[in-house]
A and B are shown apart, each in its own frame.
Chain A
């Protein structure tokens, strides 16, 4: 009948209803704003805050601007909260004071959010508890402390010290040194044009793009360090460590965890126990002490020393010498420019394309050596020894395993001494070989495909020369055959 009038009435109802709908169930809310400026004539800005967020910003002026929002579930309580600020020759201090509260009803609650804008070149000490801290644009040194809240530091110059107990720390874009400590919260650091020192206990640490050295200590949290311009020292107790692109030396320590290290300009040292160690592309020396750790290392520019207990060791492409000690794990080495020393007790050794000499000690594992540039020396007890392709002398001491040697290369004298007790010895020699042979076995036969000018022979011994002789060839067995073949 009256559409326009009805429409108006409907809108009026909405007008009244909307604000009512927006009202909360608690109508005793108190909120007040605080704002004051204080002249800063040198010294330090000191802020002591709690129960609310603290934001620190900078400006080009010479005053310290304090702005705060006081919120409370009770008006009287809200009005009793004080922000006390003072300016003097030592600087500006800002403190948030709360009244003593006997909160029997459990209905009293409060919070103060504060923003302090300081001169850009003013050093600042800011403490907070039970609230977050966010500081940006600081151009002088700062000390930021928090308990049970996060810390964010961004776009700063100068040296800064950050400490927290139960909250994350996030620092980025800093031109200066950073010192960061936390108890049980994550630490993330990005883009620092200086050195950093980080300590944590039970939170993760992630560090990316640091111009100078990084020293990181953790107890039971992971460590990640990427793009470190200087040296890296990362120490952990039980957490994984991953580090890549390190401009200087890398020193890694952890246990019961995994270590992944790559692209290190300087030398690298890794200590681990009960965890896998993977190292790739180290320009300098590599030292790995992995107690019961599996170790994989490749593309190493200098010498390598690996010592572990029960994990397998795989080493590839090393431009230096390598010494690998393993108690009960296999050792596999390939493409080594220098000499190889491999020691194991219950694992096998497999080495190929070794430009230098190979010296292997094993108790109960088989040994396979292929393409050894210089001499080969093997000492083992119960495993077979296979050598194929060697450019120097060969000495094999075995107790109960077979010995097979072939592919003796190069000119000159390469003395050969092969000894075992309860298995066979098989030696393949080239046509041009020249050896003075001394072969003997107790309960086996001696067979040769190469012509030997004998100087003495029994059923179990053979003495003589192959070719023009001269180079020493000793083959000793107790209960096995000895065979000399053409290669």
Chain B
């Protein structure tokens, strides 16, 4: 096999016996290439003379362990899935428990309102009472001199409301957080407020068609 000088480096890097033999044969007829081949051989022999090896007792067991771990790795997804499932079940169970507790508490709250909510309710009631007192002052003279049947009817309604409010308040005194009583009282306050507003709106002379 004949080669060109430019191909010598490729043969040297190949370093296979056939490549080295081809390079040597070419060098026999080429002085430049013979010199380069000789330098390469020197370098190779020098490098080989510099090689140092040593034995390490721990290295191989570590490699084996790593290999074993590597072999076990295909089953790790199963472990992750199991962990995820456990976490999901735990989380789901916790959420279910928490929701149940909350639902239970909400049902309780619908019947017996909490102290913090009670403050809000009583604040709303106070606002209603203040508004009602103001309206009552404005409507007082009109109701006292009620002559038209409609105003008399409003007066009756207000008396009925006052009786019911008093009854409700008596029961609230011994059952303060009972949600139904509070709701009922608020509703009657609203009704009374509305009725007083109707009284004030009502023209004293109802003869206008």
Residues on A lying within 8 angstroms of B by beta carbon are 4, 7-8, 11, 14-15, 18-19, 21-26, 29, 31, 51-53, 71-73, 101-103, 106-111, 113, 130-132, 147-149, 165-167, 183-184, 201-202, 219-220, 237-238, 255-256, 274-276, 292-294, 310-311
Residues in B neighbouring A111, C-beta threshold 8 A: 111-112, 175, 178-180
Which 8 pairs of residues, A with B, have the shortest CB-CB distance?
Answer: A109-B177, A18-B98, A111-B111, A22-B101, A103-B174, A15-B94, A101-B174, A292-B209
Residues on B lying within 8 angstroms of A by beta carbon are 83, 87, 90-91, 94-95, 97-98, 101-102, 104-105, 108-109, 111-112, 114-116, 149-150, 153-154, 156-157, 160-161, 164, 167-168, 171, 173-181, 184, 187-188, 191, 206-209
Residues in B neighbouring A147, C-beta threshold 8 A: 167
The answer to whether residues A238 and B153 also contact, given A109-B175, A109-B177, A311-B209 and a CB cut-off of 8 A, is yes
By beta carbon, the residue of chain A nearest B177 is A109
By beta carbon, the residue of chain A nearest B113 is A109
The SS class assigned to the A binding surface is loop
The answer to whether residues A11 and B180 also contact, given A24-B114, A292-B207 and a CB cut-off of 8 A, is no
- Shortest C-beta distance, A151 to chain B (Å), equals 14
By beta carbon, the residue of chain A nearest B97 is A19
Residues in A neighbouring B97, C-beta threshold 8 A: 18-19
Residues in A neighbouring B150, C-beta threshold 8 A: 220, 238, 256
Residues in B neighbouring A109, C-beta threshold 8 A: 112, 175-178
**Is there an interface contact between A130 and B181, defined as CB atoms closer than 8 Å?**
yes
Residues in A neighbouring B153, C-beta threshold 8 A: 219-220, 237-238
Residues in B neighbouring A274, C-beta threshold 8 A: 206-209
Rounded to whole angstroms, the CA-CA distance of A432 and B71 in the bound complex is: 130
Rounded to whole angstroms, the CA-CA distance of A220 and B98 in the bound complex is: 50
**Is there an interface contact between A73 and B177, defined as CB atoms closer than 8 Å?**
yes
**Is there an interface contact between B160 and A183, defined as CB atoms closer than 8 Å?**
yes
Residues in A neighbouring B160, C-beta threshold 8 A: 183-184, 201-202
By beta carbon, the residue of chain B nearest A105 is B176
**Is there an interface contact between B168 and A25, defined as CB atoms closer than 8 Å?**
no
**Is there an interface contact between A29 and B108, defined as CB atoms closer than 8 Å?**
yes
**Is there an interface contact between A4 and B157, defined as CB atoms closer than 8 Å?**
no
**Is there an interface contact between B112 and A71, defined as CB atoms closer than 8 Å?**
yes
**Is there an interface contact between B112 and A19, defined as CB atoms closer than 8 Å?**
no
Contacts across chains A and B counted by CB atoms under 8 Å: 141
Rounded to whole angstroms, the CA-CA distance of A294 and B208 in the bound complex is: 11
Residues in B neighbouring A165, C-beta threshold 8 A: 164
| Residue of A4, A24, A292 most packed against chain B (CB within 10 A) | A24
By beta carbon, the residue of chain B nearest A309 is B209
- Shortest C-beta distance, B4 to chain A (Å), equals 60
Give me 15 A-to-B residue pairs in the complex whose CB atoms sit less than 8 angstroms apart, sorted by A's number: A15-B90, A18-B94, A18-B97, A29-B112, A31-B104, A31-B108, A52-B180, A110-B175, A113-B111, A148-B164, A148-B184, A166-B188, A237-B149, A237-B153, A294-B209
**Is there an interface contact between A26 and B207, defined as CB atoms closer than 8 Å?**
no
Since A165-B164, A220-B157 are in contact, a sample of 19 more A-B pairs with Cβ atoms closer than 8 Å, ordered by chain A residue number, is A14-B94, A15-B94, A18-B98, A24-B105, A24-B114, A26-B114, A29-B108, A31-B108, A53-B180, A71-B111, A109-B112, A109-B177, A132-B180, A148-B184, A149-B184, A202-B157, A220-B150, A220-B153, A238-B150
**Is there an interface contact between B176 and A19, defined as CB atoms closer than 8 Å?**
no
Rounded to whole angstroms, the CA-CA distance of A51 and B177 in the bound complex is: 12
Rounded to whole angstroms, the CA-CA distance of A219 and B174 in the bound complex is: 34
By beta carbon, the residue of chain B nearest A274 is B209
Rounded to whole angstroms, the CA-CA distance of A11 and B149 in the bound complex is: 71
Rounded to whole angstroms, the CA-CA distance of A147 and B181 in the bound complex is: 11
**Is there an interface contact between A22 and B111, defined as CB atoms closer than 8 Å?**
no
Residues in B neighbouring A292, C-beta threshold 8 A: 207, 209
**Is there an interface contact between A51 and B209, defined as CB atoms closer than 8 Å?**
no
| Residue of B115, B177, B179 most packed against chain A (CB within 10 A) | B177
**Is there an interface contact between A148 and B168, defined as CB atoms closer than 8 Å?**
yes
By beta carbon, the residue of chain B nearest A4 is B83
Rounded to whole angstroms, the CA-CA distance of A277 and B1 in the bound complex is: 127
Residues in A neighbouring B102, C-beta threshold 8 A: 22
Rounded to whole angstroms, the CA-CA distance of A276 and B104 in the bound complex is: 54
Rounded to whole angstroms, the CA-CA distance of A23 and B105 in the bound complex is: 8
Residues in A neighbouring B167, C-beta threshold 8 A: 147-148
**Is there an interface contact between B112 and A110, defined as CB atoms closer than 8 Å?**
yes
**Is there an interface contact between B191 and A18, defined as CB atoms closer than 8 Å?**
no
Rounded to whole angstroms, the CA-CA distance of A219 and B116 in the bound complex is: 41
- Shortest C-beta distance, B174 to chain A (Å), equals 4
Residues in A neighbouring B108, C-beta threshold 8 A: 24, 29, 31, 71
Rounded to whole angstroms, the CA-CA distance of A198 and B63 in the bound complex is: 96
| Residue of A111, A183, A275 most packed against chain B (CB within 10 A) | A111
By beta carbon, the residue of chain A nearest B185 is A148
Residues in B neighbouring A22, C-beta threshold 8 A: 98, 101-102, 105
**Is there an interface contact between B191 and A184, defined as CB atoms closer than 8 Å?**
yes
Rounded to whole angstroms, the CA-CA distance of A205 and B83 in the bound complex is: 63
Residues in A neighbouring B105, C-beta threshold 8 A: 22-24
**Is there an interface contact between A8 and B87, defined as CB atoms closer than 8 Å?**
yes
**Is there an interface contact between B98 and A103, defined as CB atoms closer than 8 Å?**
no
- Shortest C-beta distance, B63 to chain A (Å), equals 25
- Shortest C-beta distance, B163 to chain A (Å), equals 10
**Is there an interface contact between A51 and B114, defined as CB atoms closer than 8 Å?**
no
Residues in A neighbouring B95, C-beta threshold 8 A: 18
**Is there an interface contact between B180 and A184, defined as CB atoms closer than 8 Å?**
no
Rounded to whole angstroms, the CA-CA distance of A432 and B149 in the bound complex is: 62
Rounded to whole angstroms, the CA-CA distance of A274 and B188 in the bound complex is: 29
